[in-house]
């Protein structure tokens, strides 16, 4: 970034990046949350740019783990 003009539309740029992470990269929800928090910190604390809007990005889907249940017969000792 070379000027303050590059920092315009900050929320939109952050949303686009987070959507890219969720949809194209397939990252875990915790990774996406960490990326969002890091970007918000960068803009607010380091670059001193206030973010005006909420960041509404597509959230990464939590992976559902279905437990494997062994049949009763496999637990019996002969």
Per the domain annotation, does 44 fall within a domain?
yes
DSSP secondary structure of 1-32: --SGGGGTTHHHHHHHHHHIIIIII---HHHH
Q: Distance (Å, rounded) from C-alpha 6 to C-alpha 47?
A: 12
* Sign of the CA dihedral with 64 first, then 20, 2, and 47 last: negative
2-57 tens-digit pLDDT: 566 666 677 788 888 888 888 888 888 888 889 888 988 888 888 888 877 777 77
Per the domain annotation, does 46 fall within a domain?
yes
- Which domain, by its residues, includes 32? 7-51
pTM: 0.62
Tally of domains in the chain: 1
């Amino acid at each position: 970034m070379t000027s303050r003009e590059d920092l315009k539309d900050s929320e939109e740029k952050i949303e686009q990046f987070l959507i890219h992470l969720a949809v194209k990269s397939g990252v875990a929800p915790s990774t996406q949350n960490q990326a969002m928090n890091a970007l918000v910190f960068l803009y607010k604390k380091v670059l001193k740019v206030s973010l005006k809007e909420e960041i509404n990005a597509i959230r990464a889907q939590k992976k559902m783990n279905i437990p494997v249940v062994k049949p009763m017969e496999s637990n019996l000792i002969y």
